[in-house]
Amino acid sequence: MSTTTSAARAQTVLGNDDWWRDAVVYQVYPRSFADGDGDGTGDLSGLRAKLPYLRKLGIDAIWLSPFYTSPLADGGYDVADYRDVDPRFGTLADFDAMIAYAHELDIRVIVDLVPNHCSDQHEWFQAALAAGPGSPERELFHFREGRGDLPPNDWESIFGGPAWTQTPDGQWYLHLFAPEQPDFNWDNPAVRAEFRDILRFWLDRGVDGFRIDVAHGMIKADGLPNVGKAGDERQVMMVGRGELPYFDQDGVHEIYREWRPILDSYPGGRMAVAEAWVPSPQRLARYIGRDELHQAFNFDFMMASWDADSFRTIIDKSLMEADLVGAPTTWVLSNHDKHRHVTRYGDGPVGLLRARTGTLLMLALPGSAYLYNGEELGLNEVLDLPDELREDPSFLRTGESRDGCRVPLPWGGTPADGFAFGPAGAAAPWLPQPASWAALTAEVQEDDPASTLNLYRQALAVRKSNPALGGGAVRWLAAPAGVLAFEREPGIVVVANLSKVPVSLDAFGGKALVTSGPLTETGELPVDTAVWLQR
Ligand code: GLC
């Protein structure tokens, strides 16, 4: 038996401003969540209409992936106007109506902020192209002369290929992601002033926080030095690795120190969560604290392989790191960039049961949990999308595609392809839903007590009625090989059977509150199943 301390503060009643510390946040991918106007693409009016569904699910907040004006060259992570809504997703009035209703239902709203780069259709970039070399407009981005026919340096794009594209006048511009996503020059005070203003724009509209995209980006090392390639190894990964001249540079912290007083000047605990891929908890800790950001994503849990040791090691490491960083960790199993966890865990009935078990494990851990839209329906990754329908810019360059987790949610209702995404008579969804999802629609699952939807509702309700579950410590209990068992403060014991045989629950005692699948006839915990027991 051993004890692990958690970073979450010992207190069980959190002040209003601390809501994010133990929040369950539901990520909405606007294009794929709910279609309000029937054009086959999700939108803000669709989201507004589904807020009662989210309220019933029991989440505390939504995180909205980008819905700003965008050519959608990277699903909206290429923003052409930071202060407006893309017409495909609605209008600012739709945003206002959505957030007002969310707040009425006690749901907070976090929006995605994309500061490292914009869209090549952004008016600043269009002006920079038109103004030509040497102009102040080009100073807002990274334009350089090449080395003969070669780009200015050896940097590679995260999506594959060089991180530079040449313009007709011969200069090259930097884009760490797709060519349609030019990087801002954050050494320019005008860029800084613009983003301070964008923060205020959305805070004034009532947002409760920001998810900072590529939060370890923005600042590039002076002189844009070469990385120097190591053999054939792909040079660019999202992780800063300590030495990359474009990630995790010390100067990025100045930006967050400018932003924090702005967040703090608004009432009600406005927060920021960083997507920062850095090489160590020590480096991550520098992003978090009273004068920078509130929290950072921890993606390790998502990387765990399906075995008890892997989960236990990652849980212990995450909690230790959260202590080091000084803020409760986040737990994530799925998002818009990774294959859905049902599929990572083996797909089919086995993958689904494991995914439900992984979710029960996650929701019992201290800190905040981030859910990805559709995981509450047990959706799998759609692996067999026709190539010509795939839109992920990385697919064209690397063959890796994130489209399969972005297929619109099956709500049910009027048949269209067997089941509808939007309202009656709606156009087909922008990515086709597999026929097998007819059995997974929200409508089909609504009244089925054994459905994944109702499992999520049940677990979130228990979590809500036991606020101590969001904080406190994880106390590991002795358990057979391959079985994870830990106790949480309100007397809740979590047992997850990742072994190859059913296990008896006698040693743990207590009454089953939630199980990820049925127990055996003799009351044992089957393989790949988890239970929350109340002692
Ligand atoms: C983040 C987003 C990802 C996007 C990239 C570039 O990693 O999660 O979807 O492609 O940033 O903005």
Q: Does 214 sit in the ligand 1 pocket, CB within 6 Å?
A: yes
For the chain, what is the mean pLDDT? 92
Active site residues: 213, 275
Kindly write down the DSSP assignment for every residue of 156-210, as one continuous string: B-TTSSBSEEE-TTS-EEE-SS-TTSPBB-TTSHHHHHHHHHHHHHHHHTT--EE
Has residue 397 got a pLDDT over 90?
no
Lowest mean pLDDT among 73-87, 161-175, 422-436: 422-436
**Three-class secondary structure of residue 20 per DSSP:** helix
Q: Does 159 sit in the ligand 1 pocket, CB within 6 Å?
A: no
Has residue 2 got a pLDDT over 60?
no
Query: What residues does each domain of the chain span?
Result: 3-118+189-222+239-458, 123-174, 473-534
* Whole-number pLDDT of residue 420: 77
Q: Does 391 sit in the ligand 1 pocket, CB within 6 Å?
A: no
Q: Does 405 sit in the ligand 1 pocket, CB within 6 Å?
A: no
* Whole-number pLDDT of residue 242: 58
Output the six-digit token pair for 436: 């097998």
User: Would you identify the CATH topology of the domain 3-118+189-222+239-458?
Assistant: TIM Barrel (3.20.20)
Has residue 409 got a pLDDT over 60?
yes
Contact partners, residue 420, CB within 8 Å, separation at least 6: 410, 411, 412, 413, 414, 426
Has residue 9 got a pLDDT over 50?
no
pLDDT tens figures, 217-264: 999 999 999 988 654 455 446 665 557 899 999 999 999 999 999 999
Q: What is the pLDDT averaged over residues 490-508?
A: 96
* Whole-number pLDDT of residue 235: 47
Q: What percent of the chain has pLDDT over 70?
A: 93
Residue with token string 């209990």: 477
User: Is residue 38 a contact partner of residue 408, using CB atoms and an 8 Å limit?
Assistant: no
pLDDT tens figures, 53-81: 999 999 999 999 999 999 999 999 999 99
Per-residue burial over 262-289, b if 16 or more Cβ lie within 10 Å, else e, is: ebeeeeebbbbbbbbbbbebebbbbbbb
Burial class (CB in 10 A: 0-12, 13-18, 19+), 424: exposed
CATH of segment(s) 123-174: 3.90.400.10
- Which helix or strand (DSSP H or E) is residue 47 part of? helix 44-49
- Compute the distance from residue 350 Cα to the ligand 1 centre, in Å: 30
Q: Does 114 sit in the ligand 1 pocket, CB within 6 Å?
A: yes
The C-alpha atoms of residue 9 and residue 490 are separated, in whole angstroms, by: 15
Q: Does 337 sit in the ligand 1 pocket, CB within 6 Å?
A: yes
Q: Does 300 sit in the ligand 1 pocket, CB within 6 Å?
A: no
Terminal alpha carbon distance of the chain: 18
* Whole-number pLDDT of residue 240: 57
Has residue 405 got a pLDDT over 80?
yes
Ligand 1, atom 6, lies closest to the CA of: 77
Q: Compute the half-sphere exposure of residue 434: CA atoms within 13 Å on the CB side of its CA.
A: 15
- The verdict on pTM exceeding 0.85 is yes
CATH superfamily ID and name for 473-534? Golgi alpha-mannosidase II (2.60.40.1180)
Among the atoms of ligand 1, which is closest to the Cα of residue 117? 12
Among the atoms of ligand 1, which is closest to the Cα of residue 394? 10
Q: What is the pLDDT averaged over residues 504-523?
A: 96
Burial class (CB in 10 A: 0-12, 13-18, 19+), 457: middle
* Whole-number pLDDT of residue 16: 85
Is the model more confident about 202 or about 422?
A: 202
pLDDT tens figures, 112-163: 999 999 999 999 999 999 999 999 999 999 999 999 999 999 999 999 889 9
Burial class (CB in 10 A: 0-12, 13-18, 19+), 105: exposed
Among the atoms of ligand 1, which is closest to the Cα of residue 393? 10
* Whole-number pLDDT of residue 231: 42
Has residue 14 got a pLDDT over 50?
no
- Compute the distance from residue 238 Cα to the ligand 1 centre, in Å: 10
Ligand 1, atom 9, lies closest to the CA of: 337
**Three-class secondary structure of residue 84 per DSSP:** strand
- Compute the distance from residue 379 Cα to the ligand 1 centre, in Å: 22
